[in-house]
Amino acid sequence: MKKKYTGGKIFTALTYIFLYAPIVVLIVFSFNSTKSRSVWSGFTFEWYRQLFTDDLVMSSLQTTLLVSVLASLTAALIGTFAAIGFYNMKKKWRSPLLLINNIPVVNADIITGVSLSLLFVSAGLIMGFELGFGTLLIAHITFDIPYVILSVMPKLYQLDRNLFEAAQDLGCTWFQTIYRVIIPEIMPGIINGLLIAFTMSVDDFVISYFTAGSSVQTLSMTIYAMTRRRISPEINAISTLLFATVLILLLIVNLREERQHKAEKIKEDLLEGTV
């Protein structure tokens, strides 16, 4: 006896409307011909034009992408190997280390940001460097790695315990074991961790705010500065473009997965048919 759950469906629909309404407002008013954010007076692409000629926005977009890509790749590298290392440790070493590893995740980001800035400023005084792209990158890597580790560890635990043995029996050095056997097995975990780390980096504001210094700005920092001054619908234009980009990316990823699924299903059916 299947229940209809209509109440639940309506409630869910309302929630989705709640989630998307402000975004729709942003998008609609990005085309508004006046600066007003609540009165519609006509259609224009002016704000998009201003956006593309705004050097600061473009360069901060570049900075954000660069930092996020570099940080998430580095985090994936260090994190995966760290996870493998942790996996091989005795529990009494592993537990406290994982606890410390979780600190950037659980801690409020303002504390991570402030503490890192204290570190960089003090170290900078002694060693003679400034806050800049380097410190920004280090900060991002620091809060990205835990997400990679938390994503890879479960995959490691799912590994068949005899894989190591089997590989070595077949003549692999431990080096080859890791690269040819273990890593391909845990790859989904690594990819997931990479994506989460990338998302966290792109979306970050607070930690970047405290560690980027005077010479670089990420997109979030630029947007924040824009909201503290006269607000131009350029912000709406940025939102619309971000939304469109993410939507397209997600559609692509999902469509590919759909096709892969279908291809696999067809293969399965064929095999079952012949067997």
Partner 1 sequence: MKKTICIILSAVVLVGLFSGCGSSGKETPKSKGEVNVYNWGEYIDTDLITQFENDTGIKVNYKTFESNEQMYSVLKQGGVSYDVIIPSDYMVARLISENMLEPLDYSKISNYSLIAGNMKNLVYDPDNKYSVPYMWGTVGIIYDPKVVGEVDSWSALFDPKNSGKILMFDNSRDAMGIALKYLGFSTNTTDESQLNQAYELLKKQKPLLQGYVMDQVFDKLESGEAAIGPYYAGDFLTMHQENPNLEFCIPKEGSNLFVDAMCIPKGAQNKDNAETFINYMTATEQSMKNSEFIGYTSPNSAVKNEIDVDDYSKSIMYPDDAVLAKCETYTNLPQATLDYYDAVWVKLKS
Partner 2 sequence: MNENAESVRLGGVGSFLDRFRRQAFAYPYIIWLAIFVVIPIMLIAVYAFTSVKGGFTLNNFAGMPEYAPVFGRSLWLAFVATVFCLLIGYPVALAISRTTPKTQRVLLMLVMLPMWINFLLRTYAWMSILENTGLLNRFFASVGVFNWINSLHAGDPNYTPITHFQLINTDGAVVLGMIYNYLPFMILPIESVIVKIDPFVIEAAQDLGAGSGTVFRKVVLPLSLSGVISGITMVFVPAVSTFVISKLLSNGTVMLLGDLIEMQFTGSAYNPHLGAAISLIMMVIVVICMSIMNKFGEGEEQAVVM
Using CB under 8 A as the binding rule, the residues of this chain from 183 to 202 that contact partner 1 are 187-188, 191, 194-195
Each residue 128-157 as x (binds partner 1 by CB under 8 A) or -, in order, gives --xx---x----------------------
206 near partner 1 (CB under 8 A): no
Q: Count the residues in the chain.
A: 275
Q: Which of 27, 66, 84, 183 binds partner 1 (CB under 8 A)?
A: 66
Mark out the alpha helices in the chain (DSSP H runs).
6-29, 46-52, 55-87, 91-106, 109-127, 133-157, 163-169, 174-176, 183-203, 206-211, 219-227, 234-274
- Taking the complex as a whole, the smallest distance from the CB of residue 274 to partner 2 amounts, in Å, to 27
Among 73, 119, 172, 181, indicate the residue that binds partner 2 (CB under 8 A): 119
Q: Which residues touch 220 (CB under 8 Å, ≥6 apart)? A: 64, 203, 204, 205, 208, 209
**Binders of partner 2 in range 27-56 (CB under 8 A):** 29, 37-39
Residue 111 in contact with partner 1, rule: CB under 8 A:
no
Which of partner 1, partner 2, none does 146 bind, CB closer than 5 to 8 A by kind? Answer: partner 2
Residue 52 as a binder of partner 1 (CB under 8 A): the answer is yes
74: which residues sit within 8 A by CB, 6+ positions away?
141, 144
Cα–Cα distance measured from residue 157 to residue 146, given in angstroms and rounded to the nearest whole number: 17
**Residue 244 touches which member of partner 1, partner 2, none, C-beta under 5-8 Å by kind:** none
Determine contact, residues 81/176, Cβ cutoff 8 Å.
Answer: no
Min separation Cβ 213 and partner 2, Å: 11
